[in-house]
Structure 1
Amino acid sequence: MRTPRVVVLAAASALALAACAPVDETTEETGEGSTGGYVTEGTLTVATSDPAYEPWVVGDDPASGEGFEAAVAYAVADRLGFAAEDVEWVTATFDQIIAPGAKDFDFAINQVSISDERRENLDFSSSYYDTAQAVVTLEGSPVAGATTIAELQGARIGAMVGTTSLDVVTETVAPTTDVATFNDNDQVKQALVAGLVDAIVVDLPTALYITAAELDGGVLVGQLPAGDDPDQLGLVLDKDSPLTDEVTAAVDALREDGTLAELETRWLTDAAGAPVLG
């Protein structure tokens, strides 16, 4: 069937008008009518694990904004131009977060250390937390009430071989007895439980987890300095995400204006009972 000439002319006219129509400039800004690289238009989608443990997330409810990582996520969202009600949380396991492939979130926050190996498949923001080292012991230990580094010097201390933890305890604490070394953190914990050492040194995220979920009567004595080359935690994005630069800029701004330091003090030092040992 032949198409009537009037229909053809009408279609051509419509195309010409569309070509001349002005571009909607609101599509350039975050949450202003465009996905702009975001999973959902007008929404910041953030992933973390379930359950999410304190002090990273309070009450396993990241939407509350309570806890260090929940608070950091909302601070980043604010810097990106999103209101709190425009942040949507989704669940992803640690393995799903670091796996190669497209993500169903804009960024994830889940104590993921930045590494060159992971950068092969993922993008990271700049560090939102440089990991400190922490001393862990058990109730009744001779160092359970220690408040200074000097009180640790006579203790038998264990750490994992080849780690920042071992370097920091050796250089900062300088115990009078050689630090006992083990092949992995499971062996480090077993040595503590078996009474082979009085205390162990692990990174703070590990210390918070094992005292809350793994050690019966575990005591977080306090934090040690992070050392010259600390593990750094970054927000995880899809490889070559168009959001990486602006998310990194948001994290950098929060570091520069002191927000990250304030949140760290509130949630990781005070609320978590992890004082800095002097």
Structure 2
Amino acid sequence: MRVLTTRRFLQTAAVLVAGMLLGACGKKDAPPSESTAPAAATTATTAPPAEPARVLVVGTDAAYAPFESQNQSGEIVGFDIDIVRAIADKAGLQVKFVNTPWEGIFTTLDQGDRDLLVSAITITDERRQSMDFSDPYFNAQQLIAVKADSKISKFADLKKLKVGVQTGTTGDEAVSKLQGKTSTSIRRFESTPLALQELEAGGVDAVVADNGVVENYVANNAAAKFKSVADPAAFASEQYGIAVKKGNTELLEKINKALAEIRADGSYDRIYATYFGTPQAATPAASAASR
């Protein structure tokens, strides 16, 4: 058995330590790998994700066929709806229609709950003080709806009769001027169809409302046995416009540009013919009346 002396042990240990030191001195540092490179440059050049296009909320009183109403599925449909969809497509806008009661509809625009309104809204000087309107897109006039055997032939005949109107509309204003605003013979309803149903039930002698609505109701409710009476001398011509919040010129310009384009390419006429037959003549300047 061989014995390792203290001296021999120290000599051996010294050799081993010296070898380790020489090995450490001769070792080269490995170059940094690509994964250790700073990531800041890549982050700085990456474009942020595009924000989704904002959906514009369109307020409409969906109880005014054929301009706006709800079908059996609850979907809002009508002439106004198709016109705004066509305008939105041309302008590259996204829209969502929300059923909004006529009473209070303008407040929703002023408060920012709606971005625009389309609801057979007549352009008036009074309304222009609190909102902005697009170029006119529809000509309208008031008509008198009566039962087929009625002797009523002109607006003046309604002076002492019970007349149904939708609250806050041109019909309401016209009959209020004829009979007096506080007349107990004026029956005001939340919608024109409700007023026409009251006429069918015998609760009123006549209903005054926009021509498009009256004609649509007469044509689609033959059992009611109604007829319409026109009196151009008594009712001024009206024009409908799309309403936006006062001062929203950017949106208004887009709407007007797209409205001109759908007139030019025939889209407007095709939509009009779907609901009213023969395309409407060019819309003149707006008058001072109201739905």
TM-score w.r.t. length of structure 1: 0.54
What is the letter of the counterpart of residue 153 of structure 2? R
Match of 1:266 in 2: 274
Match of 2:4 in 1: none
Residues 201-220 of structure 1 correspond to what in structure 2 (within 5 A)? 202-205=209-212, 207=214, 217=224, 219-220=226-227
Residues 24-43 of structure 1 correspond to what in structure 2 (within 5 A)? 33=50, 41-43=53-55
Structure 2 residue ranges without an equivalent (≥5): 1-39, 160-169, 172-177, 188-194, 279-291
Equivalent position to 1:74, from 62, 74, 85: 85
Q: Percent identity?
A: 23
Distance in 2 of aligned mates of 1:68 and 1:96: 22
What is the letter of the counterpart of residue 55 of structure 2? T
CA deviation after TM superposition for structure 1 residue 125, in Å: 0.8
Equivalent position to 2:259, from 251, 261, 267: 251
Q: Is the 8 A contact 1:132 1:224 kept in 2?
A: no
TM-score w.r.t. length of structure 2: 0.52
Distance in 2 of aligned mates of 1:191 and 1:222: 14
What is the letter of the counterpart of residue 46 of structure 1? V
Equivalent position to 1:114, from 111, 123, 131: 123
What is the letter of the counterpart of residue 245 of structure 2? D
Q: Is the 8 A contact 2:60 2:117 kept in 1?
A: yes
Residues 131-150 of structure 1 correspond to what in structure 2 (within 5 A)? 131-141=140-150
Tell me the SS of whatever aligns to 2:70.
Answer: helix
The structure having more radius of gyration, on CA atoms, is 2
Structure 1 residue ranges without an equivalent (≥5): 1-13, 27-32, 35-39, 143-154, 166-180, 271-278
Aligned-residue Cα RMSD (Å) equals: 4.8
Q: Is the 8 A contact 1:48 1:108 kept in 2?
A: yes
Q: Does 1:124 align with 2:130?
A: no
Q: Is the 8 A contact 1:130 1:226 kept in 2?
A: no
Match of 1:157 in 2: 154
Comparing 61-70 with 131-140, greater Cα deviation is found at 61-70
Match of 1:55 in 2: 66
Match of 1:240 in 2: 247
